Amino acid sequence: MRVKLRHMIFSSGLALPTFLLLLGGAAYGSYFSANKLAVEAGMPTFAYSFWQIVIASAVLLPVSAVLRSPPKLNIRHLRVYGLVAIVGLTGPTLIVVVLADKLQPAVVTLAAALIAAATYLLALAVKSESFRWLSLLGVVLGFGGVLFIVLPEKGLEDPAAVGWVLFALLLPVSAAMNNVFTAKLMPEDVNSLSLTTGLMTFSALLLLVLMLVIDGPVALTHAGFDGVWPTLWASAAIVVTYLCFFEILRRAGPLFFAQLNYVVVAAGVLWAYLIFGDKPNVWLWGAIAVIALGLAVMNYSKAKTLGRAGR
């Protein structure tokens, strides 16, 4: 079974998407630790968001020009930049910021863990994915792995927070819309570097307005070096994540990419251990094992489907 799975993954072209899934998940998992360091240093939320994105744009624009992959500015590409900037980047950021002092982090993490399931359901609704029992099992296993992390924590500290839990469901809804509709709208004649550069530039303009309205003009050096280096770190993590996002969408589809959120949860806990000394326990190791199993099942399901299509 193991040899057969490995053969199917490589022969169906899922080896690179799987690597990118793990790379993007590890990168974005580190993003939450960078956030904590930057906020604790005194960086205002929207100024911090703006600077990480504008730095990403400033780096990617010349790189994409040298590699002859600059962002395209026609209607088809602008639609993708706008969609991902609003429902994939700014929208989830606003939701998480609003919930920061309303719910426990574990509950917000649980909402993020629903992204894969929401993506699959939306993809089925718009007929961009076919129903597969193994895909459903992969989604369930990934979700179950996250439960290993969040269930040992206490429930809601305030029963009145139920309304905020319902509001938190906007997070998987927003991310699912981003995953599914970006895959449907993404032009074929473009590469991931061009799309990521266009997204970062569009988002930087949007976040500039939000920063000026909410935080006012804030310099990158506002919180000193303790605020600058986590901002640079977050910028690198975002670039890697979205390069992986567009490439995985192009090669394997939105449901496959949605599994990244399971990797993010496990990676985020591991990064917290490495940086802040938060020791992993038996629940974390169990979560990693179940998430890995879910990824293998999803790969197997996708490989079988691609194998049948290629016959």
C-alpha distances out from residue 190 to 80, 178, 197, 203, 250, Å:
11, 18, 12, 19, 10
CA–CA dist 111, 146 (Å, integer)? 10
Instruction: State the pLDDT confidence band at 159, using cuts at 50, 70 and 90.
Output: low
Q: Is the dihedral of CA 101, 107, 109, 113 positive or negative?
A: negative
State both tokens at 24: 């993007």
pLDDT, tens digit, 9 for 90 and up, residues 37-72: 888 889 888 898 899 999 999 999 999 999 999 998
To the nearest whole number, what is the mean pLDDT of the chain? 80
- What long-range pairs does 36-39 form, CB within 8 A, spacing at least 24? 36/276, 37/226, 37/230, 37/233, 37/275, 38/223, 38/227, 38/230, 38/231, 38/234
Domain boundaries, the chain: 16-129+158-255
Helix axes 260-276, 115-125, angle to 10 degrees: 160
Tokens 């005194």 locate to 42
pLDDT at residue 14 tops 60: yes
CA angle at 149 for the pair 110 and 111, rounded to the nearest 5°: 5
Q: Are 124 and 199 in contact (CB under 8 A)?
A: no
Instruction: State the pLDDT confidence band at 5, using cuts at 50, 70 and 90.
Output: very low
pLDDT at residue 7 tops 90: no
Please report, as a single letter, which amino acid is at residue 74. N
Please give the pLDDT value at position 97. Answer: 67
Cβ-proximal residues to 253 (8 Å cutoff; 6+ apart), any chain: 123, 128, 129, 183, 302
pLDDT at residue 286 tops 90: no
Instruction: State the pLDDT confidence band at 244, using cuts at 50, 70 and 90.
Output: very high
DSSP, res 57: H
Better-scored residue on pLDDT, 154 or 32: 32
Better-scored residue on pLDDT, 108 or 88: 88
pLDDT at residue 228 tops 80: yes
Provide mean pLDDT across the span 191-203.
91
The rounded Cα 277 to chain-centroid distance in angstroms is 24
